[in-house]
Structure 1
Amino acid sequence: MENLVTLLSEPSAWMALFTLIVMEVVLGIDNLIFVSILTNKLPEAQRPKARVIGLSLALIFRLALLGTVAIIVQLVEPVITLFDHSFSWRDIILIAGGLFLVWKATKEIHHNVDPGDSDADAKDAVVSSFATVIGQILVLDLVFSIDSIITAVGMTDHVSIMVIAVVTAVVVMLLAAGPLSRFIEANPTIVMLALGFLLMIGMTLIADGFGVHVPKGYIYAAMAFSAFVELLNMLSRRRRKKKAS
């Protein structure tokens, strides 16, 4: 505790903490969108519980990984070479997670475009999907957690600062999960936009795994611009409805 107090008395430590919190919150957007879309497929009474479980697992994964920083650092060491390109465990995990995200986003887009023929079958699928939703959140939590912790390790050497930043970021995600889920549910066009984001994030993870690094700033700038355009469309639709009424 004394070491933490001493550390936080240094201006450089506060700057590192603030920067890392912002970075962790931004990186958590991917995780949050995925959790929001999946939990919205559940009955309304189960959604808060699923969100809390999903994001709590994200926190547990991150804290557990922070406890094995030495192992996490080794994940970037090459373990296999294919076609003259070396892959580390981090690369393999990012590729697998990216493929899963692309598959899931594509499946959800197909479901939104072609919901199916039977409403009864759809209702049965929703009711029985709680464990499936948690399982899918678990898989992506692991991928996003590894990426998040490796980023944190690259920004500071102090584990205590990493822990504070990670806990703060997950608390922010927990507070934002409910409003974001309700906003997505209330605006159907946002669902397709969010699925497009997940598709783009999945492809970015795959590219990163193959050594093609796409700066996250470009990705989030594109997402912010798309969200801004959709917001203008929403405002335009509401004004037309008011005029029509």
Structure 2
Amino acid sequence: MDYVWQSAWEVLHEILTYHFSPLDIPLVLTLVLLEGVLSFDNAAILAVMTRKLPREQRAKALTYGLFGAYAFRFLAVVFAAVLLLFPATKILGGLYLVYLCTAHFLKRTQGGESTENFEGPARTFLGLSTFWSTVIAVEVADAAFAIDQILVAIAYTDKYLLILVASIFAILALRISAMLLTRLIEWFPALEEIAYLVVGLVGLKLLAGFWGLEVPKGVSIILTLGAFLIPIAVKLILDRGKRA
């Protein structure tokens, strides 16, 4: 445990005493791009979670979740040694995402009502309102994202402050992507089913990573983008054919 606290203090000291140089700019841009590409499936997860809220509350839930997202990123960087030794949150996050996917499709097979016009998540917890239950669910997902992506960034560079700076921009982009994806789902409701499948696959990917079975990032990105972009392209072609 002394090693963990010592490592955390060394990282914090490096963050507080770091001096920027012009050469850091392309590195930050690279990290932002890296996180942005790896966050596409994360955006799908946030979109699915907030879609169950009334329209006027969706952006607010994502905005409130920003505070937790930044807090998790900061802690994930400072306590990188803990994450490398005890990435237990990966298990919790992975199990939670698999549960979301399974619960959704079980409800479908059991003849549950469509969520197309349903306001509020299927379940609340701790006696909280649907809004705050969703905010907490978003925070749980953010915790898993923080661990997964910070470990990737640390493998790319050991400049921890630059990782934090890149995270600030990447998290904002993630929120914007989630809101845009929510609108896409309203235009093409079948994307919700695809999004839940992606949620389950991301959960399995987190669990597999804990056991050392890493899915290549390139494969993950191609599968996720293809799962969304191919159906969207088909719908656009069919809609254009109907108008012709």
Fold conserved between structures, TM > 0.5: yes
Q: Does 1:223 align with 2:224?
A: yes
Q: CA deviation at 1:169?
A: 0.5
- The whole-number CA distance in structure 2 between the counterparts of 1:144 and 1:124 is 24
Q: CA deviation at 1:237?
A: 2.8
- The whole-number CA distance in structure 2 between the counterparts of 1:117 and 1:105 is 16
Give 1:155's aligned residue: 156
Q: Does 1:34 align with 2:42?
A: no
Structure 1 alignment gaps of length 5 or more? 78-88
Give 1:83's aligned residue: none
**Cα-to-partner distance string for 1:218-239 (whole Å, 9 max, x where unaligned):** 0111122222320232123313
Equivalent in 75, 95, 98 of residue 102 of structure 1: 98
SS of 1:194 mapped into structure 2: helix
Q: Does 1:164 align with 2:165?
A: yes
**Cα-to-partner distance string for 1:46-94 (whole Å, 9 max, x where unaligned):** 111112112332122112333x2xx3224323xxxxxxxxxxx11x322
SS of 2:212 mapped into structure 1: coil
Q: CA deviation at 1:41?
A: 0.4
Q: CA deviation at 1:177?
A: 3.0
**Cα-to-partner distance string for 1:9-40 (whole Å, 9 max, x where unaligned):** 23xx3342222111111232233211111111
Give 1:61's aligned residue: 72
Matches within 5 A, 1:34-53: 34-53=45-64
Closer, same or farther in 2 for the Cα pair 1:176/1:124, shift >3 Å?
closer
- What is the total number of aligned residue pairs between the two structures? 223
- The whole-number CA distance in structure 2 between the counterparts of 1:153 and 1:61 is 15
Structure 2 alignment gaps of length 5 or more? 1-14
Give 1:138's aligned residue: 139
RMSD: 2.7
- The whole-number CA distance in structure 2 between the counterparts of 1:132 and 1:218 is 33
- The whole-number CA distance in structure 2 between the counterparts of 1:149 and 1:125 is 29
SS of 2:84 mapped into structure 1: coil
- The whole-number CA distance in structure 2 between the counterparts of 1:148 and 1:212 is 16
Q: Does 1:76 align with 2:87?
A: no
Superposition TM-score, scaled by structure 1 size: 0.80
Give 2:6's aligned residue: none
**Cα-to-partner distance string for 1:166-199 (whole Å, 9 max, x where unaligned):** 1111122233332221112221111111111111
Tell me which amino acid in the other structure corresponds to 2:105.
I
- The whole-number CA distance in structure 1 between the counterparts of 2:207 and 2:68 is 23
Q: CA deviation at 1:113?
A: 5.4
Closer, same or farther in 2 for the Cα pair 1:232/1:217, shift >3 Å?
same
Equivalent pair of 2:35/2:167 in contact (CA under 8 Å): yes
- The whole-number CA distance in structure 1 between the counterparts of 2:100 and 2:29 is 33
- The whole-number CA distance in structure 2 between the counterparts of 1:117 and 1:234 is 24
Give 2:3's aligned residue: none
Superposition TM-score, scaled by structure 2 size: 0.80
- The whole-number CA distance in structure 2 between the counterparts of 1:212 and 1:109 is 26
Matches within 5 A, 1:202-221: 202-221=203-222
Give 2:22's aligned residue: 9
Equivalent pair of 1:95/1:205 in contact (CA under 8 Å): yes
Closer, same or farther in 2 for the Cα pair 1:236/1:110, shift >3 Å?
farther
SS of 1:8 mapped into structure 2: coil
Tell me which amino acid in the other structure corresponds to 1:8.
S
- The whole-number CA distance in structure 2 between the counterparts of 1:123 and 1:65 is 33
Identity %: 27
Equivalent pair of 2:76/2:83 in contact (CA under 8 Å): no
SS of 1:9 mapped into structure 2: coil
Return the index of the structure with the highest Cα Rg.
Answer: 1
